[in-house]
Chains A and B, each alone.
Chain A
Amino acid sequence: MKLLTMREAVSRYVHDGDLVAIEGFTALICSAAAHEILRQGRRDLALCRMTPDVVYDQMVAAGCARKLIFSYLGNPGVGPLHCIRRAVEKGDPQPLEVEEYSHFGMVARYTAGAAKLPFFPLRSYIGADQPRVNPAIRFVASPYGEGSVAVVPPLNPDVAILHAQRADASGNTQLWGLLGVQKEVAFAAQRVIVVVEEIVDEAVIRSDPNRTVIPGLVVHAVVHQPYGAHPSYAQGYYDRDNQFYLEWDRISRDPAETRAWLDEWVYGVADWPAYLAKLAAREPAIWGRLAPGEALSRPVNYGVYG
């Protein structure tokens, strides 16, 4: 049985010292799992993600991370990530080792990790300074005599936590909208937790197999957690809460305010449903404000054969 509560899933599959990937490119970023990791007091984590945003900013501020592997640090559409900047520039609350690539480099690393390749070639970093500060980025001669090409090593997280719209109880997971690197990370990781807006019957999955991005084959735990990506979004379920990203910019500028926010919204609640109840108490109309309306795709005919 893969259906677990978030508490069970994090307790069983996320360990101190792990390399953890909570992926999602602006969309489908699982804050619910990140907050549970903090509540359970995981330490000494290496965090990887193409675009660390507010949720990794919160994790770094909470002091659970020793290292960050990434390609873009920012609060998208707003500005810098103040907590991560404090950690990198001043070692506050603790030093943070960084290992940095470009987006294509991270995509290539996960792809190599998923396919069990020793490296992945890409035409990038030519004339740039990244290889100078990151010895893992190298150039190799093409064996076919077309000059050299950059290579990056595989990235295999100990655990990947991926949010999605829906899955069945076996972890066959369908997602749509921005796909990011969710599939590559799922195949690259040793353990995979998927967190979904809806648990659906296996027949729903089988009615549209092209939409199954992550097969249950690679999934260890399925957690049903509606709105688990707030303030990020799930395409067709709820919009991005852009107000929160602006609010975080203000809160995170000040270490004391950041600490107070974590105490109130992470450590001060029992679980994600309690966080959601607190959000709704503050703004009763929140899910109306973030409702995306309806734009249905036209069904396709897969056919009946035999």
Chain B
Amino acid sequence: MDYTPTEIMITSSARALAGERVVFVGVGLPNIACNLARRTVAPDLELVYESGVFGARPARLPLSIGDPALVSGATSVCSMADLFMNYLQGGRIEVAFLGGAQIDRYGNLNTTVIGDYQHPKVRLPGSGGACEIAIHARRIFIIMRLTKRAFVERVDFITSPGHLAGGPDARAAHGIPGHGPQIVVTDKAILRFDRQTGEMVLASVHPGVSVADVQAEVGWPLVVADDLSVTEAPTAAELRLIREELDAAGAYL
């Protein structure tokens, strides 16, 4: 069965949500992945959006995290003060998806600037809720395309803290409640984080991709897992759900 690199990103992310109950959703690929997970491996999944929606049941694919389709039929719609204080800071979010323009080996993310902050080469969107999401969600899942421009030795700005400078319990030592990045799903491979070093480890390569292909797009010498595997390809059922229901217009694929 043919599939695109984007589709295997979506199915890999959805499968990582198996059995989860409360996920903080971003727009774009995480949005499709979370909706796919709810229809496959995580039927009880509650979708939370930073716009103040808990338990969304969108009838169409939302084009932004503020889409009115997220409101109609939701369990609860609250103010953003409620959402950030009680749901997020209160520790109610199990998993959250993040991405960025740059990521380093410890999962620190940059969505603020490329170059110097005062004289940026590229002014990016900034944090939004990402900084506190990275701090409070119990686990962070990252979706990003694998490119050498994005997977860098050193990010230009830490917008959202990952495992900081690495080492065991780096986050806990700073009083950060969440456990930080757990997985990075890319279009070529899946990476996970070593518990002792906090460093990204190549866990599986997508079918047809070599370790060298992955290393070529990463700006530091990549650690490869002893039990490196090949990512399971999307199934026909998953692809049907994505293509016919979740993104029938092909907005993201």
> Considering residues B64, B112, B122, B174, which has the most beta carbons from chain A within 10 angstroms of its beta carbon?
B64
Cα distance A85–B126 in the bound complex, in angstroms: 12
Q: How far is the CB of B79 from chain A (nearest CB, A)?
A: 4
Cα distance A159–B176 in the bound complex, in angstroms: 36
Q: Which one of B16-24, B34-42, B140-148, B154-162 is at the A interface? A: B154-162
Cα distance A142–B207 in the bound complex, in angstroms: 52
Cα distance A77–B63 in the bound complex, in angstroms: 5
Residue contact B51 to A25, C-beta cutoff 8 Å:
yes
Known A-B contacts A77-B63, A292-B68; the reply to A181 vs B80 at CB < 8 A is yes
Is A295 engaged at the interface, CB distance under 8 Å to the other chain? yes
Residue contact B81 to A73, C-beta cutoff 8 Å:
no
Residue contact A26 to B135, C-beta cutoff 8 Å:
no
Residue contact A73 to B120, C-beta cutoff 8 Å:
no
Q: How far is the CB of B145 from chain A (nearest CB, A)?
A: 15
Residue contact B66 to A126, C-beta cutoff 8 Å:
no
Residue contact B80 to A107, C-beta cutoff 8 Å:
yes
Digitize A216-236: 1 where CB-to-B-CB distance is under 8 Å, 0 elsewhere.
000000000000000001010
Cα distance A178–B78 in the bound complex, in angstroms: 7
Q: Tell me how many residue pairs across A and B have CB atoms closer than 8 Å.
A: 162
Cα distance A85–B118 in the bound complex, in angstroms: 13
Residue contact B80 to A124, C-beta cutoff 8 Å:
no
| Chain B residue nearest in CB terms to A147 | B175
Residue contact B126 to A73, C-beta cutoff 8 Å:
yes
Is A272 engaged at the interface, CB distance under 8 Å to the other chain? no
Is B215 engaged at the interface, CB distance under 8 Å to the other chain? no
Q: How far is the CB of B131 from chain A (nearest CB, A)?
A: 4
Known A-B contacts A70-B126, A76-B66, A242-B63; the reply to A183 vs B79 at CB < 8 A is yes
Residue contact B68 to A129, C-beta cutoff 8 Å:
no
A-side contacts of B125, CB under 8 Å: 72-74, 80
Known A-B contacts A124-B135, A178-B52; the reply to A129 vs B126 at CB < 8 A is no
Query: Is the interface on chain B under 10, 10 to 19, 20 to 34, or 35 or more residues?
Result: 35 or more
| Chain A residue nearest in CB terms to B28 | A77
Q: Which one of A11-19, A97-105, A191-199 is at the B interface? A: A97-105
| Chain B residue nearest in CB terms to A87 | B123
Q: How far is the CB of B45 from chain A (nearest CB, A)?
A: 21
Is A177 engaged at the interface, CB distance under 8 Å to the other chain? yes
| Chain B residue nearest in CB terms to A177 | B71
| Chain B residue nearest in CB terms to A24 | B66
Cα distance A127–B127 in the bound complex, in angstroms: 14
Is A168 engaged at the interface, CB distance under 8 Å to the other chain? no
Q: How far is the CB of B118 from chain A (nearest CB, A)?
A: 8
Known A-B contacts A72-B127, A179-B79, A181-B80; the reply to A240 vs B117 at CB < 8 A is no
Residue contact B128 to A103, C-beta cutoff 8 Å:
yes
Cα distance A236–B28 in the bound complex, in angstroms: 24
Is B136 engaged at the interface, CB distance under 8 Å to the other chain? yes
Q: 8 Å CB contacts to A: which residues of B142-193?
A: 157-161, 164, 171, 174-177
Residue contact B132 to A123, C-beta cutoff 8 Å:
yes
Known A-B contacts A71-B126, A178-B52, A179-B52; the reply to A107 vs B84 at CB < 8 A is yes
Cα distance A125–B84 in the bound complex, in angstroms: 14
Cα distance A107–B87 in the bound complex, in angstroms: 14
Is B89 engaged at the interface, CB distance under 8 Å to the other chain? yes
Q: 8 Å CB contacts to A: which residues of B31-83?
A: 50-53, 63-68, 71-73, 77-81
Cα distance A295–B136 in the bound complex, in angstroms: 34
Is B200 engaged at the interface, CB distance under 8 Å to the other chain? no
Among B66, B126, B175, the residue within 8 A (CB) of A25 is B66
Residue contact B80 to A179, C-beta cutoff 8 Å:
yes
The 9 listed contacts between A and B (C-beta, < 8 Å) are: A25-B66, A76-B27, A104-B84, A107-B81, A107-B85, A126-B175, A127-B174, A129-B158, A133-B117
8 further A-B contacts with Cβ under 8 Å, apart from A123-B177, A127-B158, A235-B68, are A77-B27, A102-B127, A104-B129, A128-B159, A129-B112, A130-B112, A184-B79, A239-B68
